[in-house]
Chains A and B, each alone.
Chain A
Protein backbone atom coordinates (compact mmCIF):
# COMPACT_ATOMS: atom_id res chain seq x y z
CA UNK A 1 0.00 0.00 0.00
CA UNK A 2 1.44 3.31 -1.09
CA UNK A 3 -0.41 5.08 1.69
CA UNK A 4 1.43 3.14 4.38
CA UNK A 5 4.95 3.49 2.99
CA UNK A 6 6.88 6.33 4.56
CA UNK A 7 8.73 8.53 2.13
CA UNK A 8 12.31 9.18 3.32
CA UNK A 9 12.37 12.70 1.90
CA UNK A 10 9.23 13.77 3.70
CA UNK A 11 10.37 12.03 6.88
CA UNK A 12 13.61 13.98 6.73
CA UNK A 13 11.97 17.33 6.04
CA UNK A 14 9.23 16.93 8.63
CA UNK A 15 11.67 15.85 11.35
CA UNK A 16 13.87 18.84 10.55
CA UNK A 17 10.93 21.24 10.33
CA UNK A 18 9.24 20.03 13.48
CA UNK A 19 12.50 20.17 15.42
CA UNK A 20 13.09 23.70 14.19
CA UNK A 21 9.53 24.68 15.03
CA UNK A 22 9.84 23.36 18.58
CA UNK A 23 13.12 25.22 18.99
CA UNK A 24 11.86 28.55 17.60
CA UNK A 25 8.52 28.46 19.40
CA UNK A 26 10.11 27.43 22.67
CA UNK A 27 12.52 30.33 22.46
CA UNK A 28 10.30 33.06 21.05
CA UNK A 29 6.76 32.07 22.01
CA UNK A 30 6.22 29.48 24.71
CA UNK A 31 8.83 30.77 27.14
CA UNK A 32 7.69 34.41 27.16
CA UNK A 33 4.00 33.49 27.03
CA UNK A 34 4.09 30.84 29.76
CA UNK A 35 6.32 32.99 31.88
CA UNK A 36 4.04 36.00 31.50
CA UNK A 37 0.94 33.94 32.17
CA UNK A 38 2.49 32.46 35.27
CA UNK A 39 3.65 35.82 36.56
CA UNK A 40 0.22 37.24 35.81
CA UNK A 41 -1.42 34.41 37.72
CA UNK A 42 0.91 35.12 40.60
CA UNK A 43 0.13 38.84 40.38
CA UNK A 44 -3.59 38.14 40.42
CA UNK A 45 -3.20 35.76 43.33
CA UNK A 46 -1.11 38.33 45.16
CA UNK A 47 -3.62 41.09 44.38
CA UNK A 48 -6.46 38.91 45.60
CA UNK A 49 -4.60 38.17 48.81
CA UNK A 50 -3.89 41.87 49.20
CA UNK A 51 -7.53 42.70 48.61
CA UNK A 52 -8.52 40.12 51.19
CA UNK A 53 -6.07 41.66 53.62
CA UNK A 54 -7.31 45.16 52.87
CA UNK A 55 -10.87 43.98 53.37
CA UNK A 56 -9.93 42.49 56.73
CA UNK A 57 -8.24 45.73 57.65
CA UNK A 58 -11.29 47.75 56.66
CA UNK A 59 -13.42 45.44 58.73
CA UNK A 60 -11.03 45.92 61.61
CA UNK A 61 -11.23 49.67 61.18
CA UNK A 62 -14.98 49.48 61.05
CA UNK A 63 -15.07 47.53 64.27
CA UNK A 64 -12.80 50.07 65.93
CA UNK A 65 -14.92 52.89 64.61
CA UNK A 66 -18.06 51.30 65.95
CA UNK A 67 -16.36 50.75 69.28
CA UNK A 68 -15.18 54.33 69.45
CA UNK A 69 -18.62 55.55 68.49
CA UNK A 70 -20.19 53.41 71.18
CA UNK A 71 -17.77 54.73 73.73
CA UNK A 72 -18.50 58.29 72.66
CA UNK A 73 -22.21 57.63 72.88
CA UNK A 74 -21.83 56.19 76.37
CA UNK A 75 -19.78 59.17 77.43
CA UNK A 76 -22.31 61.54 75.98
CA UNK A 77 -25.08 59.73 77.78
CA UNK A 78 -23.27 59.92 81.12
CA UNK A 79 -22.49 63.57 80.52
CA UNK A 80 -26.08 64.36 79.76
CA UNK A 81 -27.19 62.40 82.77
CA UNK A 82 -24.75 64.24 84.99
CA UNK A 83 -25.88 67.58 83.61
CA UNK A 84 -29.47 66.63 84.15
CA UNK A 85 -28.74 65.60 87.75
CA UNK A 86 -26.82 68.79 88.34
CA UNK A 87 -29.67 70.85 86.98
CA UNK A 88 -32.12 68.96 89.13
CA UNK A 89 -30.04 69.48 92.23
CA UNK A 90 -29.56 73.14 91.44
CA UNK A 91 -33.26 73.55 90.91
CA UNK A 92 -33.98 71.71 94.12
CA UNK A 93 -31.46 73.87 95.94
CA UNK A 94 -32.91 77.03 94.54
CA UNK A 95 -36.41 75.91 95.40
CA UNK A 96 -35.31 75.01 98.84
CA UNK A 97 -33.62 78.36 99.39
CA UNK A 98 -36.57 80.23 98.01
CA UNK A 99 -38.86 78.32 100.30
CA UNK A 100 -36.67 79.15 103.25
CA UNK A 101 -36.53 82.78 102.28
CA UNK A 102 -40.24 82.90 101.77
CA UNK A 103 -40.81 81.20 105.09
CA UNK A 104 -38.52 83.72 106.73
CA UNK A 105 -40.28 86.62 105.11
CA UNK A 106 -43.64 85.24 106.00
CA UNK A 107 -42.55 84.69 109.57
CA UNK A 108 -41.18 88.19 109.88
CA UNK A 109 -44.33 89.56 108.26
CA UNK A 110 -46.40 87.64 110.70
CA UNK A 111 -44.36 88.98 113.59
CA UNK A 112 -44.74 92.48 112.27
CA UNK A 113 -48.44 92.00 111.88
CA UNK A 114 -48.64 90.65 115.43
CA UNK A 115 -46.70 93.54 116.74
CA UNK A 116 -48.76 96.06 114.84
CA UNK A 117 -51.93 94.38 115.90
CA UNK A 118 -50.89 94.49 119.50
CA UNK A 119 -49.96 98.11 119.08
CA UNK A 120 -53.28 98.81 117.45
CA UNK A 121 -55.07 97.01 120.26
CA UNK A 122 -53.13 99.00 122.73
CA UNK A 123 -53.99 102.17 120.93
CA UNK A 124 -57.60 101.06 120.65
CA UNK A 125 -57.59 100.23 124.32
CA UNK A 126 -56.20 103.66 125.12
CA UNK A 127 -58.75 105.25 122.78
CA UNK A 128 -61.57 103.23 124.33
CA UNK A 129 -60.31 104.18 127.72
CA UNK A 130 -60.23 107.78 126.65
CA UNK A 131 -63.72 107.48 125.18
CA UNK A 132 -64.83 105.70 128.27
CA UNK A 133 -63.24 108.33 130.33
CA UNK A 134 -64.96 110.96 128.20
CA UNK A 135 -68.21 109.09 128.38
CA UNK A 136 -67.65 108.43 131.96
CA UNK A 137 -66.81 112.09 132.44
CA UNK A 138 -69.96 113.09 130.68
CA UNK A 139 -71.93 110.42 132.51
CA UNK A 140 -70.28 111.45 135.65
CA UNK A 141 -71.16 114.92 134.92
CA UNK A 142 -74.70 113.72 134.44
CA UNK A 143 -74.69 111.08 137.14
CA UNK A 144 -72.83 113.09 139.49
CA UNK A 145 -75.59 115.34 139.20
CA UNK A 146 -77.96 112.43 139.68
CA UNK A 147 -76.75 109.47 141.63
CA UNK A 148 -73.70 107.64 142.57
CA UNK A 149 -75.43 104.42 141.55
CA UNK A 150 -75.11 105.30 137.90
CA UNK A 151 -71.41 105.68 138.22
CA UNK A 152 -71.35 102.27 139.64
CA UNK A 153 -73.17 100.89 136.62
CA UNK A 154 -70.72 102.51 134.22
CA UNK A 155 -67.89 100.90 135.97
CA UNK A 156 -69.62 97.66 135.84
CA UNK A 157 -70.11 98.00 132.04
CA UNK A 158 -66.60 98.95 131.46
CA UNK A 159 -65.59 95.88 133.27
CA UNK A 160 -67.83 93.83 131.11
CA UNK A 161 -66.45 95.22 127.83
CA UNK A 162 -64.19 92.66 126.35
CA UNK A 163 -61.85 93.94 123.71
CA UNK A 164 -60.76 90.73 122.63
Chain B
Protein backbone atom coordinates (compact mmCIF):
# COMPACT_ATOMS: atom_id res chain seq x y z
CA UNK B 1 0.00 0.00 0.00
CA UNK B 2 2.76 2.37 0.94
CA UNK B 3 4.37 1.94 -2.46
CA UNK B 4 1.13 2.69 -4.22
CA UNK B 5 0.64 5.83 -2.15
CA UNK B 6 4.14 6.94 -2.93
CA UNK B 7 3.52 6.15 -6.55
CA UNK B 8 0.36 8.26 -6.69
CA UNK B 9 2.10 11.11 -4.92
CA UNK B 10 4.98 11.01 -7.36
CA UNK B 11 2.62 10.75 -10.32
CA UNK B 12 0.80 13.88 -9.21
CA UNK B 13 4.09 15.65 -8.72
CA UNK B 14 5.04 14.61 -12.21
CA UNK B 15 1.75 15.88 -13.59
CA UNK B 16 2.44 19.24 -12.02
CA UNK B 17 5.97 19.44 -13.36
CA UNK B 18 4.84 18.26 -16.76
CA UNK B 19 2.24 20.97 -16.79
CA UNK B 20 4.69 23.73 -15.97
CA UNK B 21 7.09 22.23 -18.43
CA UNK B 22 4.46 22.26 -21.11
CA UNK B 23 3.46 25.77 -20.18
CA UNK B 24 7.06 26.78 -20.60
CA UNK B 25 7.04 25.74 -24.25
CA UNK B 26 4.43 28.40 -24.88
CA UNK B 27 6.74 31.18 -23.78
CA UNK B 28 6.04 33.85 -21.21
CA UNK B 29 2.27 33.99 -21.33
CA UNK B 30 1.31 31.80 -18.37
CA UNK B 31 -2.42 32.36 -18.93
CA UNK B 32 -2.25 30.79 -22.35
CA UNK B 33 -4.55 27.85 -23.07
CA UNK B 34 -3.09 24.47 -22.16
CA UNK B 35 -2.46 22.39 -25.26
CA UNK B 36 -2.20 18.67 -24.43
CA UNK B 37 -1.03 17.76 -27.95
CA UNK B 38 1.91 20.13 -27.60
CA UNK B 39 2.83 18.78 -24.17
CA UNK B 40 2.57 15.16 -25.27
CA UNK B 41 4.60 15.69 -28.42
CA UNK B 42 7.20 17.51 -26.40
CA UNK B 43 7.47 14.62 -23.98
CA UNK B 44 7.64 11.98 -26.68
CA UNK B 45 10.24 13.76 -28.78
CA UNK B 46 13.90 13.87 -27.96
CA UNK B 47 15.39 16.86 -26.17
CA UNK B 48 18.73 18.60 -25.75
CA UNK B 49 18.33 19.08 -22.03
CA UNK B 50 17.17 16.87 -19.23
CA UNK B 51 14.35 18.45 -17.31
CA UNK B 52 14.40 17.73 -13.57
CA UNK B 53 11.78 19.98 -12.00
CA UNK B 54 10.07 23.33 -12.51
CA UNK B 55 8.78 25.58 -9.76
CA UNK B 56 7.09 28.90 -9.39
CA UNK B 57 9.16 31.65 -7.82
CA UNK B 58 7.49 35.09 -7.43
CA UNK B 59 5.25 34.49 -10.41
CA UNK B 60 8.19 33.48 -12.53
CA UNK B 61 8.80 29.93 -13.69
CA UNK B 62 12.14 28.47 -12.80
CA UNK B 63 13.44 25.27 -14.33
CA UNK B 64 16.05 22.93 -13.03
CA UNK B 65 17.40 21.14 -16.06
CA UNK B 66 20.58 19.27 -16.75
CA UNK B 67 22.24 20.73 -19.84
CA UNK B 68 23.56 18.11 -22.23
CA UNK B 69 26.44 18.43 -24.67
CA UNK B 70 25.60 19.44 -28.22
CA UNK B 71 27.81 18.02 -30.94
CA UNK B 72 27.29 19.45 -34.43
CA UNK B 73 29.14 18.49 -37.58
CA UNK B 74 28.76 21.51 -39.84
CA UNK B 75 31.96 22.70 -41.52
CA UNK B 76 33.92 21.17 -38.68
CA UNK B 77 33.03 19.91 -35.26
CA UNK B 78 31.20 22.18 -32.82
CA UNK B 79 30.84 21.05 -29.23
CA UNK B 80 29.09 23.13 -26.58
CA UNK B 81 26.60 22.67 -23.75
CA UNK B 82 22.91 23.01 -24.56
CA UNK B 83 22.62 25.60 -21.78
CA UNK B 84 24.06 28.05 -24.32
CA UNK B 85 20.64 28.08 -26.00
CA UNK B 86 18.91 29.17 -22.75
CA UNK B 87 15.95 26.86 -23.45
CA UNK B 88 15.79 28.07 -27.03
CA UNK B 89 15.66 31.75 -26.18
CA UNK B 90 19.13 32.61 -27.47
CA UNK B 91 21.04 31.88 -30.64
CA UNK B 92 24.44 30.27 -30.66
CA UNK B 93 26.99 31.50 -33.16
CA UNK B 94 29.68 29.11 -34.30
CA UNK B 95 31.88 30.27 -37.15
CA UNK B 96 29.61 32.18 -39.53
CA UNK B 97 26.49 30.21 -38.74
CA UNK B 98 23.78 30.90 -36.18
CA UNK B 99 22.00 27.95 -34.56
CA UNK B 100 18.61 28.04 -32.93
CA UNK B 101 17.04 25.41 -30.68
CA UNK B 102 13.43 25.21 -31.77
CA UNK B 103 11.06 22.55 -30.41
CA UNK B 104 13.91 20.28 -29.44
CA UNK B 105 15.68 20.46 -32.77
CA UNK B 106 18.64 22.60 -33.84
CA UNK B 107 18.27 24.65 -37.03
CA UNK B 108 20.53 26.98 -38.96
CA UNK B 109 19.15 30.50 -38.91
CA UNK B 110 20.15 34.04 -39.75
CA UNK B 111 21.39 36.51 -37.16
CA UNK B 112 17.85 37.38 -35.99
CA UNK B 113 16.82 33.73 -35.55
CA UNK B 114 14.04 33.60 -38.15
CA UNK B 115 12.21 30.29 -38.50
CA UNK B 116 10.47 29.80 -41.84
CA UNK B 117 7.53 27.50 -42.45
CA UNK B 118 6.08 25.86 -45.54
CA UNK B 119 2.38 25.34 -46.27
CA UNK B 120 2.15 22.28 -44.00
CA UNK B 121 3.52 24.27 -41.10
CA UNK B 122 6.81 22.34 -41.33
CA UNK B 123 10.04 24.17 -40.63
CA UNK B 124 12.04 24.75 -43.79
CA UNK B 125 15.27 25.89 -42.14
CA UNK B 126 18.16 23.54 -42.85
CA UNK B 127 19.58 21.40 -40.09
CA UNK B 128 23.22 20.65 -39.30
CA UNK B 129 24.30 17.05 -38.72
CA UNK B 130 23.44 16.64 -35.07
CA UNK B 131 25.39 14.07 -33.06
CA UNK B 132 24.47 15.60 -29.72
CA UNK B 133 24.23 13.67 -26.51
CA UNK B 134 20.49 14.18 -26.25
CA UNK B 135 18.20 13.13 -23.43
CA UNK B 136 17.60 9.79 -25.14
CA UNK B 137 21.32 9.14 -25.52
CA UNK B 138 21.96 10.09 -21.90
CA UNK B 139 19.11 7.90 -20.74
CA UNK B 140 20.43 5.04 -22.88
CA UNK B 141 23.84 5.39 -21.27
CA UNK B 142 22.26 5.41 -17.86
CA UNK B 143 20.38 2.25 -18.78
CA UNK B 144 23.48 0.44 -20.01
CA UNK B 145 25.37 1.40 -16.86
CA UNK B 146 22.47 -0.10 -14.91
CA UNK B 147 22.39 -3.23 -17.07
CA UNK B 148 26.15 -3.74 -16.96
CA UNK B 149 26.20 -3.23 -13.19
CA UNK B 150 23.29 -5.63 -12.70
CA UNK B 151 24.66 -8.44 -14.80
CA UNK B 152 28.34 -8.18 -14.02
CA UNK B 153 27.56 -8.16 -10.32
CA UNK B 154 25.39 -11.21 -10.89
CA UNK B 155 28.17 -12.81 -12.94
CA UNK B 156 30.61 -12.34 -10.06
CA UNK B 157 28.47 -14.64 -7.94
CA UNK B 158 28.98 -17.47 -10.41
CA UNK B 159 32.67 -17.76 -9.59
CA UNK B 160 33.68 -20.75 -7.56
CA UNK B 161 32.01 -24.11 -7.37
CA UNK B 162 28.40 -24.50 -8.52
CA UNK B 163 25.90 -23.53 -5.83
CA UNK B 164 22.29 -22.48 -5.48
CA UNK B 165 21.61 -18.90 -6.67
CA UNK B 166 21.62 -16.12 -4.07
CA UNK B 167 20.76 -12.40 -4.00
CA UNK B 168 20.76 -10.59 -7.34
CA UNK B 169 21.65 -13.90 -8.93
CA UNK B 170 18.31 -15.45 -8.04
CA UNK B 171 16.52 -12.48 -9.61
CA UNK B 172 18.55 -12.52 -12.79
CA UNK B 173 18.99 -16.23 -13.36
CA UNK B 174 15.35 -17.23 -14.02
CA UNK B 175 15.11 -14.37 -16.55
CA UNK B 176 18.27 -15.47 -18.31
CA UNK B 177 17.09 -19.07 -18.33
CA UNK B 178 13.70 -17.93 -19.64
CA UNK B 179 15.36 -16.16 -22.57
CA UNK B 180 17.65 -19.12 -23.14
CA UNK B 181 15.12 -21.93 -22.92
CA UNK B 182 11.82 -20.36 -23.96
CA UNK B 183 13.09 -17.94 -26.58
CA UNK B 184 16.43 -19.07 -27.98
CA UNK B 185 16.29 -22.84 -27.60
CA UNK B 186 12.60 -22.95 -28.51
CA UNK B 187 13.13 -21.18 -31.85
CA UNK B 188 16.68 -21.97 -32.92
CA UNK B 189 18.31 -25.40 -33.32
CA UNK B 190 19.89 -26.06 -29.97
CA UNK B 191 23.44 -26.58 -31.14
CA UNK B 192 23.30 -23.37 -33.19
CA UNK B 193 21.47 -21.25 -30.62
CA UNK B 194 24.43 -20.62 -28.31
CA UNK B 195 26.07 -18.39 -30.91
CA UNK B 196 23.09 -15.99 -30.88
CA UNK B 197 22.39 -16.17 -27.17
CA UNK B 198 24.48 -13.11 -26.14
CA UNK B 199 22.71 -10.99 -28.75
CA UNK B 200 19.22 -12.18 -27.77
CA UNK B 201 19.88 -11.78 -24.05
CA UNK B 202 21.26 -8.28 -24.51
CA UNK B 203 18.34 -7.37 -26.76
CA UNK B 204 15.76 -8.57 -24.24
CA UNK B 205 17.22 -6.82 -21.22
CA UNK B 206 18.12 -3.65 -23.12
CA UNK B 207 14.58 -3.22 -24.40
CA UNK B 208 12.95 -4.20 -21.13
CA UNK B 209 15.04 -1.94 -18.89
CA UNK B 210 14.70 0.98 -21.26
CA UNK B 211 10.94 0.45 -21.42
CA UNK B 212 10.83 0.54 -17.63
CA UNK B 213 13.08 3.61 -17.42
CA UNK B 214 10.75 5.33 -19.88
CA UNK B 215 7.87 4.67 -17.50
CA UNK B 216 9.53 6.43 -14.57
CA UNK B 217 7.79 9.78 -14.69
CA UNK B 218 10.54 11.94 -13.15
CA UNK B 219 14.18 12.78 -13.59
CA UNK B 220 16.35 9.72 -14.20
CA UNK B 221 13.66 8.28 -16.44
CA UNK B 222 10.98 10.02 -18.40
CA UNK B 223 12.59 9.78 -21.80
CA UNK B 224 10.92 7.89 -24.59
CA UNK B 225 13.93 5.95 -25.86
CA UNK B 226 12.29 2.68 -26.91
CA UNK B 227 9.45 4.69 -28.43
CA UNK B 228 11.92 6.51 -30.65
CA UNK B 229 12.21 5.34 -34.22
CA UNK B 230 15.98 5.84 -34.32
CA UNK B 231 16.54 3.25 -31.63
CA UNK B 232 14.00 0.74 -32.90
CA UNK B 233 15.45 1.19 -36.38
CA UNK B 234 18.91 0.31 -35.09
CA UNK B 235 17.64 -2.74 -33.19
CA UNK B 236 15.61 -3.97 -36.16
CA UNK B 237 18.58 -3.42 -38.50
CA UNK B 238 20.84 -5.42 -36.21
CA UNK B 239 18.31 -8.27 -36.22
CA UNK B 240 18.11 -7.98 -40.00
CA UNK B 241 21.88 -8.22 -40.40
CA UNK B 242 22.29 -11.00 -37.86
CA UNK B 243 19.52 -12.98 -39.55
CA UNK B 244 20.71 -12.59 -43.10
CA UNK B 245 24.44 -12.90 -42.48
CA UNK B 246 23.86 -16.24 -40.77
CA UNK B 247 21.40 -17.51 -43.38
CA UNK B 248 22.14 -20.99 -44.68
CA UNK B 249 22.03 -22.13 -48.29
CA UNK B 250 18.62 -23.68 -47.76
CA UNK B 251 17.32 -20.40 -46.29
CA UNK B 252 18.29 -18.45 -49.39
CA UNK B 253 17.06 -21.33 -51.54
CA UNK B 254 13.66 -21.08 -49.90
CA UNK B 255 13.56 -17.36 -50.53
CA UNK B 256 14.69 -17.13 -54.15
CA UNK B 257 13.91 -20.56 -55.55
CA UNK B 258 11.28 -22.26 -53.43
CA UNK B 259 11.73 -25.98 -53.96
CA UNK B 260 8.78 -28.19 -54.81
CA UNK B 261 6.50 -25.67 -56.56
CA UNK B 262 5.96 -24.85 -60.26
CA UNK B 263 8.21 -22.22 -61.87
CA UNK B 264 5.65 -19.35 -62.20
CA UNK B 265 4.75 -19.66 -58.54
CA UNK B 266 8.45 -19.82 -57.71
CA UNK B 267 8.93 -16.44 -59.35
CA UNK B 268 5.95 -14.98 -57.53
CA UNK B 269 7.07 -16.46 -54.22
CA UNK B 270 10.59 -15.16 -54.61
CA UNK B 271 9.22 -11.63 -55.02
CA UNK B 272 7.00 -12.02 -51.95
CA UNK B 273 9.77 -13.59 -49.89
CA UNK B 274 12.19 -10.87 -50.94
CA UNK B 275 9.79 -8.17 -49.80
CA UNK B 276 9.24 -10.22 -46.63
CA UNK B 277 12.95 -9.93 -45.86
CA UNK B 278 12.45 -6.21 -45.28
CA UNK B 279 8.92 -6.12 -43.91
CA UNK B 280 9.86 -8.41 -41.03
CA UNK B 281 12.40 -6.06 -39.43
CA UNK B 282 10.23 -3.12 -40.47
CA UNK B 283 7.34 -4.56 -38.47
CA UNK B 284 9.71 -5.14 -35.54
CA UNK B 285 10.75 -1.50 -35.69
CA UNK B 286 7.24 -0.09 -35.89
CA UNK B 287 5.75 -2.48 -33.33
CA UNK B 288 8.07 -1.47 -30.51
CA UNK B 289 7.86 2.21 -31.39
CA UNK B 290 4.08 2.20 -31.65
CA UNK B 291 3.43 0.22 -28.49
CA UNK B 292 5.71 2.24 -26.25
CA UNK B 293 4.79 5.62 -27.70
CA UNK B 294 1.09 4.78 -27.54
CA UNK B 295 1.46 3.91 -23.86
CA UNK B 296 3.16 7.22 -23.12
CA UNK B 297 0.54 9.14 -25.10
CA UNK B 298 -2.35 7.48 -23.26
CA UNK B 299 -0.86 8.14 -19.83
CA UNK B 300 -0.08 11.77 -20.66
CA UNK B 301 -3.53 12.29 -22.20
CA UNK B 302 -5.21 10.97 -19.06
CA UNK B 303 -3.21 13.40 -16.97
CA UNK B 304 -3.97 16.21 -19.39
CA UNK B 305 -7.65 15.69 -18.62
CA UNK B 306 -7.11 17.53 -15.32
CA UNK B 307 -5.73 20.58 -17.06
CA UNK B 308 -8.02 20.49 -20.05
CA UNK B 309 -11.08 20.41 -17.79
CA UNK B 310 -9.40 22.86 -15.41
CA UNK B 311 -10.82 21.04 -12.42
CA UNK B 312 -9.11 19.38 -9.49
CA UNK B 313 -12.24 17.20 -9.11
CA UNK B 314 -11.28 15.17 -12.13
CA UNK B 315 -7.86 14.45 -10.63
CA UNK B 316 -8.79 11.31 -8.64
CA UNK B 317 -10.42 9.74 -11.70
CA UNK B 318 -7.52 10.72 -13.86
CA UNK B 319 -4.93 9.45 -11.40
CA UNK B 320 -6.78 6.15 -10.99
CA UNK B 321 -6.95 5.63 -14.73
CA UNK B 322 -3.30 6.53 -15.06
CA UNK B 323 -2.50 4.06 -12.33
CA UNK B 324 -4.28 1.33 -14.25
CA UNK B 325 -2.46 2.34 -17.42
CA UNK B 326 0.84 2.18 -15.56
CA UNK B 327 0.08 -1.38 -14.50
CA UNK B 328 -0.74 -2.25 -18.09
CA UNK B 329 2.40 -0.49 -19.31
CA UNK B 330 4.53 -2.50 -16.88
CA UNK B 331 3.17 -5.61 -18.58
CA UNK B 332 3.62 -4.11 -22.04
CA UNK B 333 7.23 -3.23 -21.18
CA UNK B 334 8.16 -6.84 -20.64
CA UNK B 335 5.79 -8.16 -23.30
CA UNK B 336 7.27 -5.99 -26.04
CA UNK B 337 10.80 -6.93 -25.01
CA UNK B 338 9.70 -10.58 -25.13
CA UNK B 339 8.00 -10.25 -28.52
CA UNK B 340 10.90 -8.36 -30.07
CA UNK B 341 13.35 -10.99 -28.82
CA UNK B 342 11.07 -13.90 -29.68
CA UNK B 343 10.54 -12.70 -33.24
CA UNK B 344 14.27 -11.99 -33.66
CA UNK B 345 14.96 -15.53 -32.46
CA UNK B 346 12.29 -16.85 -34.80
CA UNK B 347 13.79 -15.07 -37.83
CA UNK B 348 17.28 -16.24 -36.88
CA UNK B 349 15.92 -19.74 -36.32
CA UNK B 350 14.38 -19.79 -39.79
CA UNK B 351 17.64 -18.52 -41.29
CA UNK B 352 19.88 -21.11 -39.67
CA UNK B 353 17.48 -24.07 -39.85
CA UNK B 354 19.00 -27.11 -41.49
CA UNK B 355 17.34 -28.92 -44.37
CA UNK B 356 14.13 -30.50 -43.18
CA UNK B 357 12.23 -31.64 -46.23
Interface of A toward B, CB cutoff 8 Å: 2-15, 17-18, 20-22, 24-26, 28-37, 39-40, 43-44
Contact = CB atoms under 8 A, between A and B. Distances in A.
B199 interface: yes
A39 B141 CA distance: 33
Given A10-B230, A11-B234, A36-B158, A2 B148 contact: no
A33 B136 CA distance: 30
Given A6-B230, A33-B155, A39-B162, A26 B202 contact: yes
Contacts of B162: 36, 39-40, 43-44
Interface stretch (B81-89, B109-117, B127-135): B127-135
Interface residues of B, number: 49
A22 B198 contact: yes
Contact of B151 (A11, A13, A25, A44): A25
B352 interface: no
A67 to B, nearest CB: 39
A21 B158 contact: no
Interface of B: 41, 44-46, 71, 129-134, 136-137, 140-141, 144, 147-148, 151-152, 154-155, 158-159, 162-163, 172-173, 176-177, 180, 194, 197-199, 201-202, 206, 228-231, 233-235, 237-238, 289, 293
Contacts of B180: 34
8 contacts: A7-B46, A17-B141, A29-B151, A30-B176, A30-B202, A31-B198, A33-B176, A40-B162
Contacts of A43: 162
B137 A13 contact: yes
Given A18-B235, A28-B152, A3 B202 contact: no
A36 B172 CA distance: 13
Give the 9 A-B residue pairs with the shortest CB-CB distance, closest first: A36-B158, A29-B151, A10-B230, A40-B162, A26-B198, A9-B131, A32-B155, A30-B198, A14-B234
A58 B129 CA distance: 76
A41 to B, nearest CB: 9
Contacts of A18: 202, 206, 234-235, 238
Contacts of A26: 198, 202
Contacts of B147: 21, 25
Given A21-B147, A22-B198, A33 B154 contact: yes
Interface centre among A17, A20, A33, A37 (most CB of B within 10 A): A33
Most chain A CB atoms below 10 A, which of B41, B147, B198? B198
Nearest to A28: B152
Contact of A21 (B71, B129, B148): B148
Nearest to B172: A33
A25 B198 contact: yes
B176 A14 contact: no
Contacts of A13: 131, 133, 137, 140
B136 A10 contact: yes
B144 A21 contact: yes
A5 B182 CA distance: 34
Contacts of B140: 13-14, 17
Given A18-B206, A28-B152, A9 B134 contact: yes
B194 to A, nearest CB: 8
A35 B198 CA distance: 12
Pick the most buried of A25, A26, A28, A32: most chain B CB atoms within 10 A of its CB: A25
